[in-house]
Amino acid sequence: MAQSRERRAARHRDRTAASRERAAPYRPAEILAADGTTLSGFAVTRLPEWHFDFDAGRKILLKQLGAASLAGYGCEDLEPAIAAAGALLEYARKTQGQALAHVAAVIPERASEYVRMDAATRRNLELTETLRGEPAPTLFSLLDECATGMGSRLLRHWLHHPLRDQAAVGARHEAVAALADAHAGIYKLLRRFADVERITGRIALKNARPRDLSSLRDSLALLPELGAAVPRGAPLLAGMLAISKSRPGASRCSSGRSWRIPRRWCATAA
């Protein structure tokens, strides 16, 4: 019996450590966790374990997406993630007093796609935070010359999620090389863009201000000029331009996904 309790305790510690490592790069302001889950170093909101029921979570997620199956989103087999997503959406609906209408698609993030780095490695590399817990000097503070907040958030995500796929890395390098000559003009143009990602979130939650709407209008008006300035020499850039033409006015969020749950709504299942 004692050995069995020790094994269960060891498994619980391992799960807790893994959850902490996965959450750390996102710097969540709030984490949802089932009762009994221990997570130190974060603001944790505890919910009854039944909030993380898989069947209920799947129904909530399907209703949110307006879909009959999750197979098309590549996450049908991710039961813990589906359960957590359902709990997260329900919590957001209750706290916001409305459904999140702007959450219209999901893209799973699988650990196998990225080079794994534990918390100690991230800390010692000083990617986005120094050993003293300061924002600079770090690799991020050195590299972040992004013209918009959206770009800065994407860069931060990329630094914490280095790709394993060499073809994808090569495509990014080709895009950077193609942009090198046109960089100055594009940078100057991007500086005129508002934080479209944040504004669209406010619109969906019905708390946008007139200034937000006028900033969004002005930013969308700049899209044709931006599209003309971006070189077509790299497949990655050509693909992005093709998407923007097929979906006028559409924009992707900073993580490169169809949608991203705000940091304050990071959820974990026990």
Judge whether 269 and 34 are in contact, CB under 8 Å. Answer: yes
Tokens found for residue 235: 């497949």
Instruction: Work out the pLDDT band at 263, boundaries 50, 70, 90.
Output: very low
Name the residue range of residue 148's domain.
115-246
When the pLDDT of each residue in the chain is averaged and rounded to a whole number, the result is 84
173: domain CATH number is 1.10.1420.10
Task: Give the closest residue to 257 by CA, choosing from 100, 133, 102, 119.
Answer: 102
Residue 255: inside a domain: no
Tell whether 135 and 242 lie within a shared domain.
yes
Tell whether 199 and 129 lie within a shared domain.
yes
pLDDT in tens, 233-245: 899 998 888 877 7
pLDDT above 70 for 150: yes
Tell whether 105 and 121 lie within a shared domain.
no
pLDDT above 70 for 269: no
Q: 44-47 and 266-267: which strand pairing?
A: unpaired
Residue 252: inside a domain: no
Judge whether 263 and 28 are in contact, CB under 8 Å. Answer: yes
Residue 228: inside a domain: yes
Tell whether 101 and 202 lie within a shared domain.
no
pLDDT in tens, 112-145: 899 988 888 999 999 999 999 899 999 999 999 9
Residue 251: inside a domain: no
User: What is the residue type of 209?
Assistant: R
pLDDT in tens, 27-66: 788 999 888 887 777 889 999 999 999 999 999 999 999 9
43: domain CATH number is 3.30.420.110
Number of domains in the chain: 2
Residue 71: inside a domain: yes
d(CA 88, CA 28): 13
pLDDT above 60 for 257: no
The burial class, CB within 10 Å (0-12 / 13-18 / 19+), for 79 is middle
Tell whether 236 and 163 lie within a shared domain.
yes
Tell whether 134 and 240 lie within a shared domain.
yes
Stated pTM of the model = 0.76
How many residues in total does the chain contain?
270
Tokens found for residue 192: 């005129």
Residue-level pLDDT at 179: 93
